[in-house]
Structure 1
Amino acid sequence: MATTSVPTRTLLDRRVRPAARWAFGHLLPSTVMRVAARKGDLQGQLIEVSRDGDPFPVFERIRAEGPLYRGRYASVTTSLPVVREVLSSNDFRAGFDPSQLSGALGSVFRWASDSSLLGPLEPPSLLVTEPPDHTRYRKLVTRVFSVKAVARLRERTEVIAAELLDDLAGRDTVELVEAYCTLLPVTVIAEILGVPASERERVLGFGAAAAPSLDLGLSFGQFRTVEDALAGFSAWLGEHLERLAAEPGDDLLSQLVAARDDGVGLDERELKATAGLILAAGFETTVNLLGNGVALLRENPDQLRALVDDPGLWPNAVDEVLRLDPPVLLTGRSAIRDTVVAGQPVPRGRLVTTVLAAANRDPKIFADPTRFDVTRPNAKDHVAFSAGRHYCLGAALARMEGEVGLRALFDRYPELQTLPGARRRETRILRGYDALPVRLGPRARDRAGRS
C-alpha cells in the first residue's frame, strides 16, 4: 500500500487538482457565460464579445438598460458614479468569495485549491485581500511605492526607453509590441524587483507566462502554463528574498523587505504576493497601455500634432488613452450583505460587474465620450485604475511609463505609421494588442538633417 500512495498523490497534485481548479476558475464560468449569451443575457454577451470582437456596442446596450442591469448570473453597471459607489462600498468585497460555496461543490473547490500558488487573484494579493489585513498590508506597500519613488524611477525609465529605441535603429518595419511595448515595462519591473542582470531573462519569462492569470476563460494548456510560471517564480523569489534580506540593494523590493509599521513588516508570503502582483499586473497592463496609445495616436493624427505643439499635454494624453481604451475592461465585486445599488436591491452573494471601460465613456460625465481628445479637461476622471480601497497601487508608475514610453517613441520617430496586421489579444478582461506592426520612418534628427 505504501508504495502506491506517493504516485497516487502525485497524480492528484499534477493532473486532477489542477484540472479541477481550471474547471472552477475558467471552464465553468466561461461555459455559463456562453450559454447565457445565447439566451440573450447581456452579461454573457459582454464576456463573449470581449474575447474576439468589439465590446463597446454591447456596453452601450447594457447602458441603455439603466444604471444597474440585472443579468442572469450577475448585475452589471456601466455608470461611472455607480461603478465608483460599488468599488468604494464596504458592502462588497473584491472578486468571488469561495466561502459561499456549500455542499459537494464547496468541498470539491476546497479540495482542489492550492495555497502554495500565489497568483494575483489569490490571497494575500492586494487585489483580493480585504480589511483589516488589507489596511495593514497596503499601508506598508504604499509607503515604499510612493509618488516620490516613482519620480526617482522616471530618469531610469527614460534611459531604458532611449536604449530600446536605439536598438531599433536601421530597421524600417518592426512588430512594436514585441520590440518595444513589452520590453520597456518588463525591464522597469526587473529593476524594481532588484533582479540581477544574469537572471532577468528567466524572471521576465515568468512574467510573460503568468500575465494571463488576470484573465478569464483560459484553455487548460494556458492555465497550466500560468500555474507553472507562478510556481517557478515563487521558488525563485524565495531565494531572491533571502539575498535581499542579507544584502539589500536600492531597489523598491529591498525597501519593502525592510519596511516596518510598529515593528511589524510583511511576512514571506505577503512579500511574494506583492512581487507576483507587480510582475503579472504591472507587466501586461502597461504593455496594453503603450500599444493602445500608439494605435490611438496614429488613428488621430490631429491629436499627435497637438502634442508636438504642446508637449505639456503628454500626461493628460496618457489619461485620455486610459479613459478611451483602458488595459482592463472590467472588474467584479460580490455583496457581503444585503444592500441597495442605484435604487435596486442587491442580495448577499450577488456578483456585480463594474465595466470600467464603459464607465470611462459615460456620456453624463464625459462630453462626446467616444472622441479621443488629448486636451479633454476631465480625462483624469476615468476609473481605468479602479477606485476605492483597491485603487491600483501602480497607477503613478503606469502613468509615468506610459508618458515616457509614448513620448520617447514619437519624439524619435514622428512619422511612425501603423501597418496592416494589427491583432488584438484574445482575452476577455485584459484589452490590448498582441501584434502591432509599424513602419518607423526617419528618426527625428535624420529628418532634420535633410531639411
Structure 2
Amino acid sequence: MSPRYRLRWLLEQGSPRYALRLNARRGDPFARLVGSRAGLRDPYPYIEQIRERGRMYRGPIGWATADYELSRAILRDNRFGVFGMNGFELPAVAKRRIAAAPLPPNPVEAPSMLQLDPPEHTRMRKSVSAAFTPRAIGRLRDRVESVTVELLEALPSDGSADLIANFAGQVPIAIIAEMLGFPQESRPQFLEWGDAASPLLDIGISWKAWRIAAESMMQMDGYLDRHIAQLRAQPGEDILSSLVSAGNLDDNELKATASLLMGAGFETTVNLIGNGVVQLLAHPEQLARLHKEPELWPQAVEEVLRFDAPVQTTARIALCDTEIDGNKMHKGAVVVLSLAGANRDPKMFENPDRFDITRANAKDHLTFSSGIHTCLGASLARMEAIHALRSLFDRFPDLSLAQTPERRQLFTLHGYSRMPVNLGHRATAVV
C-alpha cells in the first residue's frame, strides 16, 4: 500500500498503540486489558482492576467504566454520540492526511449506521429494520433449523472436528448471506474478508493487521459493486434487493449497510455459539439440566451473553461539555464502556462470576448495547444460537474438547478462532 495509508494507520492506530503500551508498563488496567496477550485471553481480571479504580476513571485513551448503571445511562444519553477511530480530536493537517487515504464503505466508518447519530442513523436504521421484525425473524426459523441439520450431518464421521470452522461459523454466515442475496459459493470468501477486517473494531492494532484489513475491504468493495449492479438488473427477494429497489440509499450507503449486516450478522453469533459450547462443557451439571429441561435453552443463551460476552466493549464521545457521576467532561471526551464489565457488575448481578443458566435477570445484560444503537439483529442471533447449541448437544451428547480452544487475538470481539473437539456418540435425531 502507498505511504499515505501507513501515515493514516499511524495517526489512527499507531499513536494509540504506543500510548497503550507505555501505560501498560505503568500498570494502567485498561491499557493492560487492550494491549497484553493475557488480557486478550482472559480479560476479566483486568476488567475488575478497572472497576477497582471507581465507577469511572481517566485512562490513557479517555474515560473508562465497568459500571452497569453508568454504562446503560451513557448508551441512552443523547449528550453522547457514537465514536470511531476517526473520532479523536486531531489537527486539521492530520484529518487531511487521513482523508487522502480513503477506505471503501465499511462497518466501522460512516455511512455505516454503527457510526452515525440521529438523524442520519434514524434514516439508515429505518431502511433495514423491516428485515429484523419478530415476524421476519420467525420466517427464518425453518431455514436456521435446516441449515443446522445440514451442518451437523456434514461433520466428519471420524469423530473429530474444528467446531468453529465446521459449525459455529457456518450457521450465521449461511443465514446472513441468504438474507443479502449472496450466492452460496461466496461464503468462504466473506468469511475470509470478515476475519481480516474484524481487528478494525479494536484500538491500537498493528500496521500489518490494519493493512490486511484495508486490502480485504477493498476487495469486498469490488464484489459489492458487481453484486449491487446485478441486483439492479435482476432483483431478488433479499434485504439488499429491497434496499436497491427502494432507491433511498446511495451506493456508498448500500455497501456500508451490506458490509455491516454481514459482519454483525456473523461475528456476534459465531462468538456466542463458541463461547456457549465452552461454558456448557465447563459446567456439565448445567448442561445435564438442559438435557432434562430443554425449555431452559433461551435462558442459557442469555447467561452466555452475560457471562462471556461476544462483544466486550463500545465507546461514546461527548457531544457537549457535560458531567457524569460528578466527572466533568469536555466536548470530544471519549468514554470507553466495558460491556463485559457491566455484565459482571455485582450491584446488578448477584454472584456475577458464577455461570448460572437459571439466573432470573440474565437478559438485562448489555451485550447487545442499549438505546438507539441496540443491535438490530439481536433476536436473530439469539434464535440461531439457541437452535445451534441445543441441536449440537442433542446430536452429540458426549461432545468434549480435544484441545484447549484458541482465543481470537481481539479486544472488542471475544471468541475462539479454533475449537478442536471429539464429537463422541452421534445420536440418531436432532430434537
TM-score under structure 1 length normalisation: 0.90
Query: Aligned residue for 2:254?
Result: 271
Whole-angstrom CA distance in 2 between matches of 1:106 and 1:227: 18
Whole-angstrom CA distance in 2 between matches of 1:345 and 1:99: 18
Whole-angstrom CA distance in 2 between matches of 1:319 and 1:350: 32
Choose 1 or 2 for highest CA Rg: 1
8 Å contact from structure 2 (residues 106, 255) kept in 1 = no
For residue 129 of structure 2, the aligned residue among 126, 138, 142 is: 142
Post-superposition Cα deviations, 1:345-368, rounded to whole Å, max 9, x if no partner, equal: 122111101000000011111111
Query: Aligned residue for 1:213?
Result: 200
* Structure 2 residue 223 is matched with structure 1 residue 236: yes
What is the aligned-residue identity percentage?
43
* Higher deviation after alignment, 412-421 or 380-389: 412-421
Post-superposition Cα deviations, 1:61-115, rounded to whole Å, max 9, x if no partner, equal: 2212221112243111111110011111111111145473224433433333x0x
Change (3 A) 1:190 1:300: same
Superposed, 1:76-87 pairs within 5 Å as 76-87=64-75
8 Å contact from structure 2 (residues 88, 332) kept in 1 = no
Change (3 A) 1:144 1:209: same
Whole-angstrom CA distance in 2 between matches of 1:446 and 1:120: 39
SS of corresponding position for 1:444: coil
Supply the AA of the counterpart residue of 1:380: K
Whole-angstrom CA distance in 1 between matches of 2:49 and 2:186: 48
Change (3 A) 1:131 1:429: same
* Higher deviation after alignment, 317-326 or 204-213: 204-213
Query: Aligned residue for 2:360?
Result: 377
* Structure 2 residue 246 is matched with structure 1 residue 246: no
Extract unaligned runs of 5+ from structure 2.
Answer: none
8 Å contact from structure 2 (residues 8, 97) kept in 1 = no
Whole-angstrom CA distance in 2 between matches of 1:183 and 1:209: 17
Query: Aligned residue for 1:295?
Result: 278
For residue 388 of structure 2, the aligned residue among 400, 405, 410 is: 405
Query: Aligned residue for 1:5?
Result: none
Query: Aligned residue for 2:422?
Result: 439
Extract unaligned runs of 5+ from structure 1.
Answer: 1-13
Supply the AA of the counterpart residue of 1:341: I
For residue 412 of structure 2, the aligned residue among 426, 429, 436 is: 429
Whole-angstrom CA distance in 2 between matches of 1:373 and 1:290: 17
8 Å contact from structure 1 (residues 78, 356) kept in 2 = yes
* Structure 2 residue 139 is matched with structure 1 residue 152: yes
TM-score under structure 2 length normalisation: 0.94
* Structure 2 residue 347 is matched with structure 1 residue 354: no
Whole-angstrom CA distance in 2 between matches of 1:256 and 1:98: 28
Whole-angstrom CA distance in 2 between matches of 1:287 and 1:26: 26
* Higher deviation after alignment, 25-34 or 393-402: 25-34
* Structure 2 residue 85 is matched with structure 1 residue 102: no
Whole-angstrom CA distance in 1 between matches of 2:161 and 2:389: 16
Query: Aligned residue for 1:36?
Result: 23
8 Å contact from structure 1 (residues 98, 106) kept in 2 = no
Supply the AA of the counterpart residue of 1:374: I
Alpha-carbon offset, residue 15 of structure 1: 1.5
Change (3 A) 1:90 1:414: same
Query: Aligned residue for 1:6?
Result: none
Query: Aligned residue for 1:132?
Result: 119
SS of corresponding position for 2:74: helix
Task: Tell me the number of residue pairs that the alignment of Structure 1 and Structure 2 aligns.
Answer: 428
Query: Aligned residue for 1:222?
Result: 209
For residue 367 of structure 1, the aligned residue among 347, 350, 358 is: 350
Whole-angstrom CA distance in 1 between matches of 2:225 and 2:95: 31
Please give the root-mean-square deviation of Cα atoms over the aligned residues, in Å: 2.0
